[in-house]
């Protein structure tokens, strides 16, 4: 009896595991067709200058419209794209689309924006990364300073010596470099000095409770003064409430991004937002 039960439990366990494996195999299979099937789009989340309240840029965020499953968030498919190497082709598409779109906005008379594109570890380690980015910029005819590459701290630190070299090559192209999710990795401060980066992005886990949790407030403050003493701009992500925004402004944080300032929206909607006559965010009383 007990044995039968045990077997049953085991059976249920493998059933569950099978379902999850199947989902992964299924996603992986359909991910292979997603590029050719034009199933990807980019949303753009505004980035705000906390001094002027103006939109000075946007982060490009990838979305996958699966033919049966509907909209799939990057946290669910980017890891699969990484493991399979599909991220290289997908990343090329993101780079081309974002640079093309940004150039289009300039030609259509919008004030110049910096569009930020996320790079994953696999892309960052790719030998011809610099060449791929240069090609996208040339094809789009975009001045490199209007492209910002977001790289997470842990990706950079994996092969720190190699990473310093890659970052210098990217910097030589003239693009902006940002360290994403800053504070969550095992960053070495001595390396930070060697990285030719333009921006630190305070991870949203520190921003979330910043107005109620003293530890998070202290960490955010420390990142802002660290950035500024190294001459690096600081942006905070995940700003959802006015209290968080007020705190960051008081601490002298340069830029901000989050649902309170603007959700990720289509390229058309971002353009409309920028064109719409309005007074800049009333950031400081
Ligand atoms: P990330 O680079 O840290 O991007 C910020 C994420 O936070 C986005 O999620 C964004 O929608 C979300 N977010 C923005 N404001 C708020 C807020 O106020 N509150 C909360 N709770 N969340 C906020 P998303 O679009 O689901 O992207 C998740 C991650 O997927 C990104 O994290 C990035 O690491 C990765 N990713 C997105 N697009 C791409 C891409 O084109 N290529 C690669 N390699 N990775 C990408
Ligand atoms: Mg990012
Ligand atoms: Mg981030
Ligand atoms: Mg983050």
ipTM of the complex as predicted: 0.97
For residue 284, is pLDDT > 90? Answer: no
Q: Coil, strand, or helix at residue 179?
A: strand
- The atom of ligand 1 lying closest to the CA of 87 is 44
Percent of the residues in the chain that have a pLDDT greater than 70, as a whole number = 89
Please give the share of the chain, as a percent, with pLDDT higher than 90: 76
Contacts of 2 (CB under 8 A, 6+ apart): none
At 97-116, the pLDDT tens digits run: 999 999 999 999 999 999 99
pTM of the model: 0.92
Place of tokens 């049966």: 68
Q: For residues 276 and 221, which has the higher predicted lDDT (pLDDT)?
A: 221
Q: Confidence class of residue 81 from pLDDT cuts 50, 70 and 90?
A: very high
Q: Quick check: 186 pLDDT over 90? A: no
Q: Residue range 60-83: average pLDDT? A: 95
**DSSP character at residue 145:** G
pLDDT of residue 80: 95
Residue 12: pLDDT band with limits 50, 70, 90: low
Helix, strand or coil for residue 185? Answer: coil
Strand partners, 255: 49, 235
Among 118, 132, 156, 242, name the best residue to mutate to test ligand 1's pocket (greatest count of ligand atoms within 8 A of Cβ): 118
Measured distance CA(203)–CA(181) in Å, rounded: 4
Does 116 sit in the ligand 1 pocket, CB within 6 Å?
no
Task: Tell me how far the alpha carbon of residue 61 lies from the centroid of ligand 1, in angstroms.
Answer: 6
- pLDDT tens digit sequence for 143-163: 999 999 999 887 777 777 888
pLDDT at 234: 98
Paired with 60 in beta bridges are 44, 117
């Amino acid at each position: 009896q007990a044995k039968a039960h045990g077997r049953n439990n085991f059976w249920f366990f493998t059933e569950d595991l099978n379902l999850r494996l199947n989902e992964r195999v299924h996603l992986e299979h359909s991910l292979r067709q997603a590029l050719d099937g034009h199933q990807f789009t980019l949303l753009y989340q505004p980035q705000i200058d906390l001094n002027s309240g103006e939109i000075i840029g946007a982060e490009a965020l990838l979305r996958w419209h699966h033919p049966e499953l509907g909209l799939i968030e990057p946290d669910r498919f980017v890891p699969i794209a990484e493991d399979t190497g599909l991220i290289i082709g997908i990343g090329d598409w993101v780079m081309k689309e974002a640079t093309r779109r940004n150039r289009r906005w300039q030609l259509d008379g919008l004030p110049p924006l910096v569009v930020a594109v996320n790079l994953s570890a696999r892309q960052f380690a790719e030998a011809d990364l610099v060449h791929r980015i240069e090609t996208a910029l040339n094809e789009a005819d975009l001045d490199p300073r209007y492209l910002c590459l977001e790289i997470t701290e842990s990706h950079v630190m994996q092969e720190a010596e190699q990473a310093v070299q890659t970052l210098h090559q990217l910097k030589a192209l003239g693009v902006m470099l940002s360290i994403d999710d800053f504070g969550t990795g095992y960053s070495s401060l001595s390396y930070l000095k060697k990285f030719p980066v333009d921006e630190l992005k305070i991870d949203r886990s520190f921003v979330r409770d910043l107005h109620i949790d003293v530890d998070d407030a202290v960490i955010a403050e420390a990142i802002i003064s660290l950035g500024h003493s190294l001459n690096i701009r600081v942006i905070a992500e995940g700003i959802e409430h006015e209290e968080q925004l007020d705190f960051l402004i008081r601490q002298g944080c340069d830029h901000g991004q989050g649902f309170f300032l603007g959700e990720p929206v289509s390229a058309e909607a971002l353009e409309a937002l920028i064109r719409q006559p309005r007074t800049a965010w009333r950031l400081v009383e």
